[in-house]
Amino acid sequence: MSQNARFRWLLLRRVAAQLSRSEQQGFTLIELLVASAITTIVLTVVFIGVLTAINGNRLAEARTRRRIDLSRAFDFISNEIRMANRINQTATTALGGSVTLEDVVTSSGLTMAELGNPDAIVLYLEIPISEPGPAICPAGSPNAGAARAQVDRIVYDVRPSTNGWLPPRAVHRHGRIPRLDGSIDPCSRPVSSDTLVDAIANQATPPECGTSARPGQLSGASGFYACVNGAEVDLNFKSDVTNLEVHRLSSKAASRVSNNIAIPVLKRDGRTGDTLDLSWTWTGASAGVTYRVFQAVNETQTEVASETNQAASVPLTGNIGENHCYTVIATFGSLASLESDPLCEIK
């Protein structure tokens, strides 16, 4: 072997030995610490970015859900306003001056206990029930044997949220539950304290109501207000989307059937044998009015009296033990009131 060849052979062996020792030694402690620190920083940045994206999506979803919930509640209430013929008033009492919505509701025959003792009543509606059918609720119905309801009385209120509902407050409804097609079963029972929408904001700043030329009647509290001006209602919702954000929904709804025709209020004055003494009050026209009295027995309704005075003595014509239910309507010219609430007597 020549001198040069031997030199190249020794040089290659030395390089190979150095490479072999380098591979066996691995990384130093400093290199490992630096790599670990860099990895930690990268993972932290990525984790923060992922959390930010997730929280942003959750907030966007919460906003969307709140808007959807409020819109559905508004649509439902607006639909009932369009069907109502009385808004924040009964045949004898109307909101205004010293008269509160509690006074209006009490004059309708409802009690605060029936409503679940709400914090604040926001809206009272009377919806006529015009569904044809027997005068007496048939067997098998929730109110079998009772007279069919002529009016559905709806009450909306706002109160603190109960367990299972999002705080701080919720809108509750009292009234009959409509069928899927929107019609009302006159023989169904009203449902009290039915939660319509939750997460209502606890903000006490009321919205403006009407104008100086046409002021409205404002009712409500916290995040749910109603401004009533005749047949027009301006609903105002405020929803607690997050602890720092409130979503507001405000729009108008108007009754399509609202009228000023009063409904007679019927009462029992006494009974002599099989004759029942009835009287009624009515706040409508005072001249040219005829009152028609109807009797319903065993799902059959007949007219038993026609009076110009506000009283009548009517016979209990059915059999012993049968329920006799009476109603009265007021007619004048081509107009007629809705039927009064039924008054029932067992023979």
- Better-predicted residue by pLDDT, 346 or 25: 346
The pLDDT assigned to 153 comes to: 96
User: In this structure, are residues 264 and 330 in contact, taking their beta carbons and an 8 Å threshold?
Assistant: yes
Is the C-alpha dihedral spanning 237, 161, 112, 75 positive or negative?
A: positive
pLDDT, residue 59, reads 64
Distance, in Å, from the CA atom of 24 to the CA atom of 205, rounded to the nearest integer, reads 76
pLDDT tens digits along 87-138: 998 877 888 888 899 999 999 999 999 998 898 999 999 999 988 778 889 8
pLDDT of residue 171: 95
Most confident of 22-31, 277-286, 317-326, 331-340: 317-326
Q: Return d(Cα 164, Cα 140) in angstroms, integer.
A: 33
Ordered by where they begin, the domains of the chain are: 64-254 (no CATH), 265-346 (2.60.40.10)
Cross-strand partners of 169:
160, 200
What pLDDT score does 285 carry? 66
When mean pLDDT is compared across 152-156, 281-285, 316-320, the lowest value belongs to 281-285
pLDDT at 51 over 70: yes
Copy the structure tokens of residue 11.
Answer: 């040089």
Q: Which of 120-124, 131-135, 181-185, 208-212 has the highest mean pLDDT?
A: 120-124
What local confidence, expressed as pLDDT, does residue 19 receive? 54
Question: What tens digit of pLDDT does each residue of 11-39 get?
Answer: 566 655 555 555 555 667 787 787 788 88
Return the bridge partners of 297, or none: 300
* Residue 341, pLDDT score: 83
Residue 298 has pLDDT above 60, yes or no: yes
More confident residue, 292 or 70: 292
> What pLDDT score does 284 carry?
72
Residue 216: Cβ-neighbour burial (10 angstroms; 0-12, 13-18, 19+): middle
Over the stretch 250-288, which tens digit does the pLDDT of each residue have?
Answer: 777 777 765 556 788 899 999 999 999 999 998 776 677
Lowest mean pLDDT among 13-22, 167-176, 194-203: 13-22
Most confident among 91-95, 263-267, 329-333, 337-341 (mean pLDDT): 263-267
Residue closest to 171 by CA, chosen among 127, 118, 209, 124: 118
Nearest to 346 by CA among 318, 323, 327: 323
Its pTM stands at 0.65
Rg for the chain, CA atoms, rounded: 37
Q: Label residue 10 by pLDDT band (50, 70, 90).
A: low
Residues 22 and 11: their CA atoms lie apart, in Å, by: 17
